[in-house]
Chain A
Amino acid sequence: MSDESATAQQHNDESAPATHHHDGEAATSQPQNGEATSESRAQNDSSGEGTEPILTAESLTQRYGAVPVFEDLELKVEPGGFTALIGPNGSGKTTLLRALAKLYRPTAGRVAYHGPSVPRPIGYLPQQPRFRPGFSVQETLSFYARLVSGDREHATETATDALERVGLEAAADRPVEALSGGMTRLLGIAQATIGDPPVVVFDEPASGLDPGMGLRVFDVATDLADAGTAVIVSSHDLELVETHADTVFMLDSGDFVAHGPPNSLYAAHEADSLLEVYRAAISGDADRVRVRGDGE
């Protein structure tokens, strides 16, 4: 963090501790040209001023030995929000998402879920979802559904609902190993939504997909947010992020260098696109891959 550029440092000030677009500097800029779904969610959010966050990260720190991945991160996620996490490769996005999904115990700090008591509070889509071969799509989802529902009939319904949610009904009987990359990702999203978790975490759901499939994946995530689920997504597809996300967190060198609604970020950086904000906020040489911990 000590080697961040002045720009990054300046925007770093915005990041702590209130991080949702209702609060802090970034929230003062009203959305101007947000995509319809994110606008409507923003309006819903604004009507719920002071909404309690459903997920919070406090002083979140992760190190691998002496190598820091991120330190003292603060994050609040509200119900029904679409939060995007962007940043260079190796900036710690996946590690942060895994912490938010409570998949491991961070070195320091805590992630707290404040939502309703449900069988599965947080759903998770790994970056490269894979499933046990030899099972059909329907069987795979039914298995996962049985982990949240003791009722066999209900579990089957849950699996079918999840398939319909991602538009994969036609492939219900197809073996998982025969799915394309995009369909596997959609199956992963369906898996992540099993049990209607109030929070879902998707790690690069559009990575490696064609533009149409990537858009579809983000539309599914938007539908979930519209239905009240808090969606947290990491992505390198800045166009999809700026048209779908309510709030963007930009992670660089283990710190949030910018955050807020896309339009607020444009205003703060005198930019016309998220890509320009990204270029302005991210420190270092874009042609070189940085390795966290080197020289820090």
Chain B
Amino acid sequence: MTDGDVAKETEGVTGTETTETGHAYATPGARGLISAIVRRELRTVARTRTFALLTAALAAILLGIGWAGGGMESGYVPTVVDVLTPLEVLVPIVAVVFGYRAILGDRERGELEVFRTYPISSWQLVLGTYLGRAIGVVLAVTVPLTLVFIGVVFTETERLRVYATHAGADSPVLFARLIVLAVVFALVVLAIAIAVSALVSSARTGLVAAALALLVVLFGLDLAIIYGFVAGPLGEGSLIYALPLSPLSAFRGLVLEKVIVTAAGTGPRAASPIASLFGLAAWTIGSLVVATLGVEHLE
């Protein structure tokens, strides 16, 4: 293959090097390397039946709750209220299942070590893994919630009463906000799961660490904030700025602030949206940095 051949249809290429056997390699750049990892993860997600079953189960549970709770007949915001608490539990579970073996599996098989002989750095590997799995997680959260949304569209029968009893307006836009916020929450927990995946070295410790991470996300951080509030360090005024320390509280606060309170038109301030988004971003970036360090210091 000539250099000219190599130049065509390249992706994120940084230069061309010729080996002793005469092969010219259009060295992939960071984008090309990350893209290769993303594609691999996407194939894994698409071919792993567990992920499809998990998505179907989430859809069934949310549709069941929305229907049984009566929210779907009442409108978008009542449905949000019905599914919010289940989402707080189920979204982290879905994200952790998608992510906790992503890097661990490569480590167990020895492929992580083999990657060290390739021109890919730890951060590229972690970012590619995260992005690939993230596409799967986005689908796993979006599809069930979209089905619930469609359910509301077709079963909503009390539109007028809802409009009359809410100062604000019930609107599909508010449900769309829930979907976006749930996806963001899932992506944050996925980053935490990827960090766990990069730090453990066996399937058993991976499972235990993933379960622990779930407990911390679901209960531990909230309990710590409550303790801080009760014990004194956190005052009433600073509480809404402390809540984003927990991804779950940040998600819940954003849903309350941007979906439910908006619809109600009034109510106490539930969260600081900026602080919540900052908190979620910090958890995501921090987790990916931890994952990178975990891969970097592999022994």
Contact = CB atoms under 8 A, between A and B. Distances in A.
Given A128-B110, A135-B43, A151-B8, A120 B119 contact: yes
Contacts of B39: 143, 146
Contacts of B116: 101-103, 124
A153 to B, nearest CB: 6
B151 interface: no
B117 A150 contact: no
A154 B48 CA distance: 28
Contacts of A117: 17
A91 interface: no
A150 B20 contact: no
A197 B114 CA distance: 13
B110 A126 contact: yes
Given A119-B25, A130-B111, A228 B105 contact: no
Contact of A195 (B1, B19, B115): B19
Nearest to B41: A132
A177 to B, nearest CB: 11
Interface string A121-160: 0111010111110110001000110111111111001100
Contacts of B106: 132
A104 B23 CA distance: 28
A19 interface: no
B257 interface: no
B9 A153 contact: yes
A116 interface: yes
Contact of B6 (A102, A146, A151, A192): A151
Contacts of A146: 28, 32, 36, 39
Contacts of B10: 150-151
A103 B43 contact: no
B166 to A, nearest CB: 48
A191 interface: yes
Given A104-B299, A198-B19, A147 B119 contact: yes
Interface string B7-20: 01111111001111
A196 interface: yes
B118 A144 contact: yes
Nearest to B49: A134
A122 B114 CA distance: 10
A203 to B, nearest CB: 10
A10 to B, nearest CB: 36
Nearest to A199: B117
A119 B27 contact: yes
A116 B111 contact: no
B33 A196 contact: no
Chain B interface size band reads 35 or more
A103 B36 contact: no
Contacts of B108: 130
A18 interface: no
A67 interface: no
Contacts of B177: none
Contacts of B11: 150-152
Contact of B117 (A116, A120, A135, A158): A120
A118 B119 CA distance: 10
B84 to A, nearest CB: 35
B28 A228 contact: no
Interface in B44-95: 44, 47-48
A197 B119 CA distance: 12
A154 B7 CA distance: 10
Q: Which of A119, A129, A192, A227 has the most CB of B within 10 A?
A: A119
Nearest to A196: B19
A116 B18 CA distance: 9
A135 B114 CA distance: 17
B273 to A, nearest CB: 40
A103 B113 contact: yes
Contact of A139 (B33, B43, B48): B43
B25 A195 contact: yes
A107 B299 CA distance: 12
B110 A154 contact: no
A214 to B, nearest CB: 20
A98 B298 CA distance: 13
Contacts of B110: 126, 128-130
Contacts of B5: 151, 153-154
B105 A132 contact: yes
A13 B106 CA distance: 42
Contacts of A119: 17, 25, 27, 118-119
Contacts of A124: 113-114, 116-117
Given A129-B110, A134-B48, A135-B43, A154 B1 contact: yes
B118 A150 contact: no
6 cross-chain pairs, A with B, having the tightest CB-CB distances, nearest first? A150-B13, A150-B28, A130-B109, A196-B19, A146-B36, A147-B118
Interface of A: 79, 98, 101-104, 115-120, 122-124, 126, 128-132, 134-135, 139, 143-144, 146-154, 157-158, 191-192, 195-198, 227-228
22 contacts: A103-B113, A104-B299, A119-B17, A119-B118, A120-B119, A122-B117, A124-B113, A130-B111, A139-B43, A143-B39, A146-B39, A148-B27, A148-B118, A148-B119, A150-B26, A150-B27, A150-B28, A154-B26, A192-B117, A195-B25, A196-B20, A197-B19
